Every structure is written in C-alpha cells, then in structure tokens.
C-alpha cells in the first residue's frame, strides 16, 4: 500500500463550519481524504465575509486538520477600487494578498514537507510563488467555478450603465488573470465536467473534473414525516448569483405563480439576507434568513427552486436537496454540472412561464413530486458519492507526482 500523502489545503474561506456551498465542498474533500488515510493540513483565510471564531472550532476538527486561520479584510475600499480601474490587475484577486497570510504560509511550508498543495479557488493563486520558493510540492487548483464567467454573466444582466461598465472591467481583468495563471499549476481539478472543458482548452496542464461529493450517512431522513407542500430556496445570499436569482423570481415569476396558485407559499432561507428581502412584505413569501439546521429545513418542504442565471461550477444546495429526495426546479445554468435528465430527476425552467408550469405540475401532483425526488436521490448517491470521488482525487495526485 502506498504511503499516505501529506496535503496542504489553502482555502479562501474556512471549511469549518460547512455552512455554505464553498466551505461544504472544501470540507467534504478534506474529511474524505482524512477518512482515506491521507495527512491533511489546512491554512485558511478568515474574512469579514465568512468570519469564524477560532475558539469555536471543535477540538477533534482542530486535531485532524491542524487548521490555522489568518484574517483578511475583503471590504471593498472605494479608493483602491477606483485606482484599480487604471490598472490591468484583478481587484477580485488583489484583495486576498496580505503579508500576514504569506508569512504564515512560509512558516507552515518550512515546518512540514508536503507532497501536494491544493489551492481552493482561483483567488488564492497569488501564493503560488511562495509555495514554489519554499516547497517541492505539486500544486493543484481546485476550481469551484470558472470565476470570470460568473462576472461576465452578472455584467450581461446589469442594466445600470455605470455599474455595467465597472463590472465589465472587473470581469475582463479577472479573465486575463485566470487564463494566464492556470499554467503555473501542476494540475487542475474543476468541480464539473463542463468547467473542465474550458480548463483543458485554456491550459496545458492535467485536468480532471472532481465533482462535489456527499456522504450518505450525513444525509438526514425526515423523521416525523411532515412535509409542507410548498416551495423553498436555500443559499447564501452574499453570493451575487443567488441574490439576483431570488430577486428575479420574486419580481418576475412570483406574481404570475401566486395569481394561478394563490394558496402556494415560498420560504427563503440562507445566510446574510439583504435588506430588501428582510423588508419584503409579499403575501405567501416567508423570509427566514439563516436557519438553525439546513437539512431539517430542506426536509420540511416539498419543492426546491433554484432560479440561477449566472455562475458556474455546481450548486451545492441543489445537490443536497436532491440527495434528500426533494424535487428541484432549476434553470439550465443552475443545473450545470449535474448529470440530470429533465423531467425524470429534476425539472428545468428558464422563464416565469416555465417556472409556473413546473411548479403547477409538482404542487398539484404530490406523487409526481415524490417520484422526481426519489429519482434525484438515486442519481446523487450514484454520481456524487464522496468516498468514490476522494479515491479518484488521490489517484490524480499520484499521477502528477
């Protein structure tokens, strides 16, 4: 049996607690590798956008991951943001560069010999130079998204001309950085096959899609059997595609849906709800904010909606909802990276009229909703099993070594 690998994860946000998509995806791989007998160390940014109190991290998690956090202030500062307009640098990336993080990274690299350094998201790429100077490890990018594609899609949907121009600058500089930095890696691990196609064209490095994996034992079942025949959306609302999707649904789709299905309710859950949603007073729309237990919330409602029109990668909450046997209605963009069959294990809707049709089909026929959910669960357990995914990743590590 090969010796265990020493793997350093460099994360743009703490994988603990796994309370939103990115941390959940990172944590599942970290724990999967540890369960598979590999040695893992975690160095993470601790930001104002996803703040973690180190003293709250469980002792057993600290022990098995050796996690260390370094604070990075990601507040958008008007003067640096304005000055950036006259440079070719990516403001998205520049905000993650700090001397404190670099110093801690050097300290870790000089104290331990690593086989693999896995960088989680493009934004931590500026630290490649430090890794090369202080380690012989192979460096792997875990690409959660094609980052510039998210911003291009957001720019396209923005109507304010001044904001559109600024977002256009951000997406252009981010695209330039993303396409140039990829060949500084030894391997690239996108989260979806669709994203992998892009990375294979742009880079000359080994590329292997490694999807998001779930642990079957961690998926809760509905203990009390009470499920409200209602819609729900769950997702972190500080991620722009989520907020934009919900805003579109409330403004464009919900009036049509509520007119035709006046007794139907929709529940909106997630971290960092924007003020406009917290102040919303629309009949049958319940804004809950962050819920104590995401899985319990998901299990309590019948139909998941994911109206996403930007972003790339895989939507973790869609995967989780499907794993728990929920019927999901999403856009084509929202369902990217999932090997779905429309009408069998998910319903695809891209317009207000299509959402109304799909919702009506499930709301008026709970048996159909249950059937779609059961098929979805089978699909996720087959294609997104964390143990299988982890073994594939380990094999990829050994190939590039």
C-alpha distances in Å from residue 56, one per residue of 52, 61, 164, 237, 337? 8, 11, 40, 23, 34
Residue 238 has pLDDT above 90, yes or no: no
User: What mean pLDDT is predicted for residues 334-338?
Assistant: 88
Confidence of residue 145 (pLDDT cuts 50, 70, 90): confident
Contact 328, 347 (CB under 8 A): yes
User: What pLDDT is recorded for position 311?
Assistant: 66
C-alpha distances in Å from residue 101, one per residue of 47, 70, 112, 123? 12, 6, 17, 13
pLDDT tens-digit map of 349-378? 999 999 999 999 999 999 999 999 999 999
Q: Report the percent of the chain where pLDDT is more than 70.
A: 98
Residue 324 has pLDDT above 80, yes or no: yes
Question: How far is CA 23 from its chain centroid?
Answer: 8
User: In this structure, are 244 and 117 located in the same domain?
Assistant: no
Asked whether residue 356 is assigned to any structural domain, the reply reads yes
User: In this structure, are 140 and 162 located in the same domain?
Assistant: yes
pLDDT tens-digit map of 147-196? 888 788 788 878 899 889 988 999 999 999 999 999 999 999 998 888 89
The more confidently predicted of residues 393 and 81 is: 393
Average pLDDT across the chain, whole number: 93
User: In this structure, are 93 and 236 located in the same domain?
Assistant: no
The more confidently predicted of residues 314 and 108 is: 108
Residue 79 has pLDDT above 90, yes or no: no
Residue in 8, 76, 16 with CA at minimum distance from that of residue 46: 16
User: In this structure, are 40 and 178 located in the same domain?
Assistant: yes
Asked whether residue 266 is assigned to any structural domain, the reply reads yes
Residue 312 has pLDDT above 80, yes or no: no
Confidence of residue 240 (pLDDT cuts 50, 70, 90): confident
Asked whether residue 260 is assigned to any structural domain, the reply reads yes
User: In this structure, are 170 and 248 located in the same domain?
Assistant: no
Residue 222 has pLDDT above 80, yes or no: no
* Helix, strand, coil in percent for the chain, rounding step 5: 50, 15, 35
Asked whether residue 1 is assigned to any structural domain, the reply reads no
pLDDT tens-digit map of 10-44? 999 999 998 888 898 999 999 999 999 999 999 99
Contacts from 89-93 at CB under 8 Å and sequence distance 24+? 89/173, 89/177, 90/170, 90/173, 90/174, 90/176, 90/177, 91/170, 91/173, 92/123, 92/147, 92/151, 92/170, 92/173, 92/174, 93/122, 93/123, 93/125, 93/126, 93/174, 93/177
CATH number at residue 339: 3.40.50.2000
User: In this structure, are 92 and 203 located in the same domain?
Assistant: yes
**Strands of 228-234's sheet, edge to edge?**
285-289, 266-269, 228-234, 301-306, 327-330, 347-348
Confidence of residue 81 (pLDDT cuts 50, 70, 90): confident
User: What mean pLDDT is predicted for residues 279-302?
Assistant: 94
Residue 54 has pLDDT above 90, yes or no: yes
User: In this structure, are 305 and 342 located in the same domain?
Assistant: yes
DSSP string, 152-187: HHHHHH---HHHHHHHHHHHHHHHHHHHHHGGGSSE
Q: Report the percent of the chain where pLDDT is more than 90.
A: 75
User: In this structure, are 75 and 120 located in the same domain?
Assistant: yes
pTM metric for this prediction = 0.82
User: What pLDDT is recorded for position 153?
Assistant: 79
Domain count, the chain: 2
Asked whether residue 10 is assigned to any structural domain, the reply reads yes
User: In this structure, are 375 and 254 located in the same domain?
Assistant: yes
C-alpha distances in Å from residue 183, one per residue of 140, 274, 343? 11, 38, 40
User: In this structure, are 255 and 181 located in the same domain?
Assistant: no
User: What pLDDT is recorded for position 223?
Assistant: 59
What torsion, rounded to 10 degrees, do the Cα atoms 182, 183, 188, 193 define? 70
Residue 314 has pLDDT above 80, yes or no: no
User: What pLDDT is recorded for position 49?
Assistant: 85
User: In this structure, are 203 and 242 located in the same domain?
Assistant: no
User: What pLDDT is recorded for position 68?
Assistant: 98
User: What pLDDT is recorded for position 348?
Assistant: 98
User: What pLDDT is recorded for position 287?
Assistant: 96
CA 166 to CA 147: how far, in whole Å? 16
User: In this structure, are 70 and 22 located in the same domain?
Assistant: yes
Residue 234 has pLDDT above 70, yes or no: yes
User: What mean pLDDT is predicted for residues 206-235?
Assistant: 86
Domain interval for residue 184: 6-213+385-400
Confidence of residue 202 (pLDDT cuts 50, 70, 90): very high
Please name the residue that has the structure tokens 């009949």. 283
């Amino acid at each position: 049996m090969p010796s265990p690998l020493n793997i350093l994860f460099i994360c743009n946000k703490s994988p603990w607690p796994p309370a939103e998509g990115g941390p959940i995806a990172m944590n599942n791989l970290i724990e999967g590798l540890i369960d598979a007998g590999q040695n893992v160390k975690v160095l993470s940014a601790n930001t104002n956008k996803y703040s973690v109190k180190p003293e709250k991290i469980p002792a057993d998690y600290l022990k098995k991951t050796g996690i260390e956090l370094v604070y990075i202030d990601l507040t958008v500062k008007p003067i640096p943001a304005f000055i950036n307009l006259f440079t070719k640098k990516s403001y998205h990336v520049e905000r993650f560069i700090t001397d404190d993080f670099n110093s801690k990274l050097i300290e870790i690299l000089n104290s331990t010999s690593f086989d693999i350094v896995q960088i989680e998201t493009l934004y931590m790429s500026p630290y490649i130079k430090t890794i090369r100077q202080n380690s012989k490890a192979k460096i792997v990018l875990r690409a959660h998204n094609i980052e510039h594609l998210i911003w291009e899609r957001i720019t396209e949907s923005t109507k304010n001309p001044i904001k559109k121009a600024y977002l256009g600058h951000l997406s252009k500089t981010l695209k330039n950085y993303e396409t140039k930095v990829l060949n500084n890696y030894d391997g690239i691990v996108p989260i979806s096959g669709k994203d992998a196609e892009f990375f294979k064209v742009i880079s000359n490095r080994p590329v292997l899609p490694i999807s998001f994996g779930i642990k079957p034992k961690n998926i809760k079942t509905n203990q009390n059997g009470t499920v409200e025949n209602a819609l729900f959306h769950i997702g972190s609302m500080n991620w722009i595609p989520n907020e934009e999707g919900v805003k579109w649904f409330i403004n464009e789709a919900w009036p049509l849906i509520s007119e035709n299905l006046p007794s139907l309710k929709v529940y909106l859950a997630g971290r960092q709800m924007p003020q406009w949603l917290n102040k919303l007073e629309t009949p049958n729309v319940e804004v809950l904010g962050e819920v104590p237990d995401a899985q319990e919330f998901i299990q309590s409602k019948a139909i998941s909606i994911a109206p996403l029109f930007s972003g790339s990668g895989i939507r973790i909450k869609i995967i989780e909802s499907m794993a728990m046997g929920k019927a999901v209605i999403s856009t084509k963009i929202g369902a990217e990276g999932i090997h779905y069959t429309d009408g069998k294990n998910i319903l695809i809707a891209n317009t207000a009229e299509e959402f109304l049709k799909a919702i009506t089909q499930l709301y008026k026929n709970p048996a159909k909703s249950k059937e779609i959910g059961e098929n979805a669960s089978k699909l996720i357990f087959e294609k997104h099993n964390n143990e299988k995914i982890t073994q594939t990743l380990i094999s990829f590590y050994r190939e590039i070594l």
